[in-house]
Amino acid sequence: MQKKTLEKIEQVNNLIKEYGAMTLRQIYYQLVTKGYKYRQIKYVCKVGRIKGLIPADSIVDRARPCYGETRRFSNLEEFAQVIPDYFNLDYWIDSKNHIEIWTEKDALSQVIYEIAKDYQVTVRVTRGFLSISNKFKWSDENLTILYFGDFDPSGLYIDKDLKWSQLEYEKFRRIALTEEQVKRLNLPSVKVNKKDPRSPKYLTEYGSRAWELDAMNPNDLQQLVRNTIKEYVDFDLQQKRNMMYLLREELRRRLE
């Protein structure tokens, strides 16, 4: 194996040690400043895992869901031991706020959810433009949408699309990416896809470069999620967590 390939593998492993499991796209954006092409990173990650030089489970593909792979139990006693952990207290039941996080990036949904779950906040994946079916299903006049998506022609137009007749305009917030963020964080960019029918207006307003949410440092992204949720927390979070723990323990005793 060539020395340059081994060097790239070491760089990938250093990222994984720092951030944990990542997608190929995330790894690429963290290394793109070194002049690497996406195909080079893809090749290195492939060879590295085949040769056992990169942990096989450290690079994830979150865009291809699996159905039916649920946890299974051999008997009721085994199930009774773990069922209390499935109980989640509704932290927001007496809050004046009702928030959800929506993101167009399925690949980053678990990165976001790692933080959101600590606050019992739902994360929904729109996969680009949301279908009419889910617009009806997810609409709620009391809901505040905290949105995370790309800064590109279609990515910005999604904002307008989601400010649909059944969604309150003032309750939709684009949290990321914003023009201020891409400049302040000096995020790596990509060329605007000129085949996108929304590109002419974008090119006039923002120029020929675009930015993907994947380019954000995972730690920065998670901190942004945490800080944004905290803006809406109007209750004693630790008290809620303690209460959930006590209720789980009570349920565990009842099942013994």
Q: Looking at the structure, do residues 49 and 106 belong to the same domain, yes or no?
A: no
- Name the helix (H) or strand (E) containing 60: none
109 belongs to a structural domain: yes
Determine, yes or no, domain membership for 68.
no
Q: What is the pTM of this model?
A: 0.81
Q: Are residues 214 and 145 in the same domain?
A: yes
217: enclosing H helix or E strand: none
Q: Are residues 149 and 217 in the same domain?
A: yes
**Count of domains observed in the chain:** 2
- Residue 167: band (very low, low, confident or very high) from pLDDT cuts 50, 70, 90: low
Find out whether 235 and 95 touch, Cβ atoms under 8 Å. yes
47 and 109 assigned to the same domain = no
In a domain, 69, yes or no: no
pLDDT of residue 164: 59
Helix orientation angle between 3-19 and 24-31, rounded to the nearest 10 degrees: 110
Does one domain contain both 14 and 90?
A: no
Q: Is 196 domain-assigned?
A: yes
pLDDT digits (tens, 9 = 90+) for 206-244: 999 999 999 999 999 999 999 999 999 999 999 999 999
Q: Evaluate whether 61 touches 226 at the Cβ level (below 8 Å).
A: no
Residue 66 lies in a domain: no
- pLDDT tens digits for range 127-136: 877 776 777 7
Asked whether the beta carbons of 102 and 126 are under 8 A apart, the reply is yes
Query: What is the mean predicted confidence (pLDDT) over 245-254?
Result: 94
Considering the domain architecture, whether residues 118 and 159 belong to the same structural domain is answered as: yes
**209 and 119 within one domain:** yes
- Spatial distance between the Cα atoms of 89 and 80, rounded to a whole number of angstroms: 19
Of 79 and 227, the structure prediction assigns the larger pLDDT to: 227
Structural domain contains residue 255: no
Contact predicate 126/158, CB 8 Å: yes
**The CA-based dihedral angle spanning residues 136, 137, 143, 144, taken in that order and rounded to the nearest 10 degrees:** -80
- Judge if 102 and 49 occupy the same domain: no
Residue 170: per-residue pLDDT? 58
Identify whether residues 23 and 142 lie together within a single domain. no
Position 34 in a domain: yes
Question: Alpha carbon of 66 to those of 55, 74, 110, 125: distances in Å?
Answer: 21, 22, 15, 16
Same domain flag for 33 and 114: no
The answer to whether residue 122 is domain-embedded is yes
The range of the structural domain enclosing residue 46 comes to 3-58
CATH number for the domain harbouring residue 221: 3.40.1360.10
> pLDDT tens digit string along 172-213?
899 999 999 999 999 999 899 898 999 999 999 999 999 999
Q: Do both 96 and 216 map to the same domain?
A: yes
Whether residue 47 sits in one domain with residue 8 = yes
Strands lying side by side in the sheet with 99-103: 122-125, 99-103, 144-148, 172-176
Examine the pLDDT at 251 and tell me if it is beyond 90: yes
